[in-house]
Amino acid sequence: MNKKNRIKKNADFSRVFREGSSTANRQFVIYTLSKEDQEQFRIGLSVSKKLGNAVERNHIKRYIRQALNELSNDLLLNMDYVVIARKPCTELPFNEFKKSLIHVLKRADALKIRDSKHKTDKKQIK
């Protein structure tokens, strides 16, 4: 994920919290805000000190960035996203972590619909 795709300023975070909508599951809270004047999506991350020391928090942030990087083609453009990690995400392996993030992004209607990618292939048994 490029640095131009990150939300860093406190005013930008505050605007997404104030004007955006939120969706949550057990592991994450996602705030989304539509921005018609920008061409790319931007991501902001929030990991509380309650989740662990700096090493553990950075580990969680790396997981979130990696999962969102893999999903970057499916994320809606012209949006700002703020991802807040909750305590249960600290115990998940990466594949479950990513599934949980996909789940909350689907609930927030933040993913483009691509049936071929999200459906499982079933072989017919004769």
Q: What is the pLDDT of residues 3-54, one digit of tens each?
A: 788 999 999 999 999 999 999 999 999 999 998 888 889 999 999 999 999 9
Whole-model pTM: value is 0.82
Domains of the chain: 3-112 (3.30.230.10)
DSSP string, 22-90: EEE-SSEEEEEEE-TT-SS-EEEEE--GGG-SHHHHHHHHHHHHHHHHHTTTTB-SSEEEEEEE-GGGG
Q: Provide the mean pLDDT of the chain.
A: 86
